[in-house]
Structure 1
Amino acid sequence: MPISVTTSKTCLSLVFALALSAHAAEAPKVSAARTPAEAGLTDIRTLVPDIAEDLRYAGPDNFTGAVVDGYRAPRCFLRTAAADALARVERALRTDGYALRIWDCYRPARAVAAFVRWAGDLSDTSTKAAHYPNLGKDALLGEYIAPVSGHSRGATVDLTLMRCRAGRCVPLDMGTDFDFFDPRAHTDDPGIDAAQRANRQRLVRAMAAQGFVNYPQEWWHYSLPAAAAADTLYDVPVE
């Protein structure tokens, strides 16, 4: 017999609640830190004052369509070792006529919880065309949106690469935009063209030179494992 929308939502909530319960025993703790300094976080602009930022979750231009809980200002914080490493990436790129543009850095745990709530609201599909045109929203929890994010450990960054000439920097064609929930965003997706693949690999090489590791499902996502708080998440607001 047909399943009602209400029943479907209830089932989804139950399944997700069970998944969270199963995960709870091994979930990292949330730090009691309440300021960036207490969490060992550094604003990247204290190291590279003119680095390009387009911090999407501090405004409505993101997959939720709204400012995300925990983002009170468009600032990029990272644990100090990760910020230092990212600054070195930027300086090396500039010598070759390239530069970074940052979309997200440290992410408060409350923001991750807001993503999960958004993903569970199957009635809101206002950003589907831009962010998940080929998937149902019920497919986003798991591979694309998880209840625990490495960003909350302070050593993960989402970014892209720009080509700079005569003082003007233009983002390279990477094949998709940021937070495009689709296999096409996989770093080695076979469907992208040769130029897009070369651009993604240039970014991989630049980041890897300073120890950053790419998440293969998202070409824009990089972490520096040595700088992360392995068993701790942070919930300091970005402000």
Structure 2
Amino acid sequence: MMKKSKSFLALLLGVGIAGHSLAQQSLVERQQFVDIKSVIENVEYDIRYATSNNFVGERIDGYLASKCLIHRDAMSSLRDIVNELAKQDLRLKFFDCYRPEKAVAHFMSWANDLSDTKTKADYYPNLDKSALVGPYIAERSGHSRGFTVDLTLVRKDGSGQYVELDMGSSYDLFDPLSNTDNPGINASQRKNRQLLKTVMESHGFAAYNMEWWHFTYRDMTTQQKQQYYDFDVN
């Protein structure tokens, strides 16, 4: 009986130590990231995955707060972008930044449930849901490395509110219309997309041409390119 009790206690201690180690690892990882708004005040947030206003139709796993986290190594370039845009009375509006791997798994679970089409009209009206995995939804996302952002441009209107520039399609619209160089958009929309792309690329962010809102910081180390994270956004 004593041997069993000791074994059980050792098991509990082992689980406790392992849980503590994971928590410590998560804390260390989190410390490499910063909430953009805590450093740069003149930016806007619309963190869709912390709400039900997204293509899944519910809050996404791992989003416990409406924050936009990014790796500290990319912050200097973001600050330069914000300062440049301020000269044109423009701001960045962020939809998403760091994305936990558990959130990516949530996306994949939704994408594989072909019976759930309640958001089709708003997010993929011209595509079958079965076509989303691959070009739009993947088993692993660059967002989970902490160097990718989804964003747009906003300008203050007469009432003092920051209003999104017309980009020709809404955020997370899974459709060729969201391709940066889609020929179906008008001249003004093309100009707005090009403005966003130009300012982001001039400060080290590479565009993803299937989605006009999606940019990844290029200056990553080899280790950073291989590192994916799963701590919560909180």
Could you say which TM-score interval applies, normalised by the shorter chain?
0.7 to 0.9
Which position in structure 2 is the counterpart of 1:94?
A: 86
1:34 to 26, 37, 47: 26
1:186 to 175, 179, 183: 179
Cα distance change, pair 66–118 in 1 and its aligned pair in 2 (3 A): same
Q: Distance in 2 between matches of 1:58 and 1:38?
A: 18
Which position in structure 2 is the counterpart of 1:213?
A: 206
Q: CA RMSD in A?
A: 1.5
Are the aligned partners of 1:58 and 1:72 in contact in 2 as well (CA < 8 Å)? Answer: yes
- How far did 1:164 drift? 2.8
- What is the TM-score when the length of structure 2 is the normalising length? 0.85
1:224 aligns with 2:217: yes
Cα distance change, pair 189–115 in 1 and its aligned pair in 2 (3 A): same
Query: Which has the higher Rg, Structure 1 or Structure 2?
Result: 2
Secondary structure of 1:223's match? strand
Q: Please state which structure has a larger fraction of its residues in helix.
A: 2
Secondary structure of 1:233's match? coil
Which position in structure 1 is the counterpart of 2:54?
A: 62
Which position in structure 1 is the counterpart of 2:127?
A: 135
Are the aligned partners of 1:33 and 1:234 in contact in 2 as well (CA < 8 Å)? Answer: no
- How far did 1:92 drift? 1.1
Number of corresponding residues: 208
Which position in structure 1 is the counterpart of 2:101?
A: 109
Q: Distance in 2 between matches of 1:53 and 1:35?
A: 24
> Unmatched 5+ residue regions in structure 2?
1-23
1:235 aligns with 2:227: no
Q: Distance in 2 between matches of 1:35 and 1:78?
A: 15
Which position in structure 1 is the counterpart of 2:140?
A: 148
- How far did 1:87 drift? 2.1
Are the aligned partners of 2:42 and 2:91 in contact in 1 as well (CA < 8 Å)? Answer: no
Instruction: Kindly report structure 1 stretches of 4+ aligned residues shifted beyond 3 Å.
Output: 36-39, 165-168
Which position in structure 1 is the counterpart of 2:10?
A: none
Greater mean deviation of Cα atoms: 204-213 or 174-183? 204-213
> Unmatched 5+ residue regions in structure 1?
1-31
Higher relative contact order (CA 8 A, sep 6+): 1
- How far did 1:170 drift? 1.4
Which position in structure 2 is the counterpart of 1:20?
A: none
- What is the TM-score when the length of structure 1 is the normalising length? 0.83
